[in-house]
Amino acid sequence: MRGLERRKALEARFSARRLVLGAAVGTALFATVFGVLSMLGVAHWRGLSPHADVLPQLAAALIAAVGEELTFRGGVFRVLADGFGTTAALIVSAGIFGLLHALNPGATLLSSVAIMLEAGVLLGAAYAYSDNLWLPIGIHLGWNFTEGGLFGVSVSGYRGAGGLVSVSLAGPRLLTGGPFGPEASLVAVAICLLAGLAFIVLALRRKRWIAARARLVLE
């Protein structure tokens, strides 16, 4: 932003309040996913895990959240929104985000579409609402850490030694997500889409949804 756009990176200005709020939202969303999977008889709780690796999981979640949000919401989404409007930015950035996750272990067409719809839409809408990267960073961090660090399941195809709680998943792949993890579950898609739609409504009410246009200027 400073080098190419000759302005301060206000979108990246640190906000502890937005970070904490985002982490709470991400944690609550994934906990809801597991609550629904448990009620459906898909998730089975087996008590505390003797193989928890919480700190490595937290570090991995933080690195992924900051790096991916700077790149996709701070870069791809923001530039497209400025040039073509928020709707186009949301569709394109979510599509690219999902396609890049197709390279992950255990990825399928379903998992890529799931990432587009749940993470791409939710995180893009959260950024549009807040106009600050620390809300989507917090959501991303809370989601990933709850998934891997607390429940010990695969995070986008990658699995650590274990989380604080030992949980097993058994049932149809459309519900468990298969080797890719619960992010590819239809339950996760439905819950995150609802949250994404809520952020879209909030962004519209705050008049932060940029209308469709075409004025991208390359300097």
Domain membership flag for residue 218? no
- What mean pLDDT is predicted for residues 12-41? 96
- Report percent pLDDT > 70 for the chain: 97
The string of pLDDT tens digits covering residues 107-161 is: 999 999 999 999 999 999 999 999 999 999 999 999 999 999 999 999 999 987 6
Domain membership flag for residue 23? yes
Q: Residue 43 above 60 pLDDT?
A: yes
The reported pLDDT for the residue numbered 51 is 75
Domain membership flag for residue 60? yes
Q: How many domains does one find in the chain? A: 1
Containing structural domain, residue 93: 17-40+52-205
Domain membership flag for residue 2? no
Domain membership flag for residue 157? yes
- Out of 14-23, 50-59, 140-149, 169-178, pick the least confident: 50-59
- What mean pLDDT is predicted for residues 51-56? 83
- What mean pLDDT is predicted for residues 57-80? 94
Domain membership flag for residue 1? no
Domain membership flag for residue 46? no
Nearest alpha-carbon partner for 12 in 87, 59, 71: 71
Q: Which two tokens stand for residue 8?
A: 């301060």
- Report percent pLDDT > 90 for the chain: 79
Residue 26: φ, ψ to 5°: -60, -40
Q: Residue 203 above 90 pLDDT?
A: yes
Residue 218 confidence class, pLDDT cut points 50, 70, 90: very low
Question: pTM to 2 decimals?
Answer: 0.93
Higher pLDDT: 45 or 192? It is 192
The reported pLDDT for the residue numbered 219 is 44
The reported pLDDT for the residue numbered 216 is 54
Domain membership flag for residue 103? yes
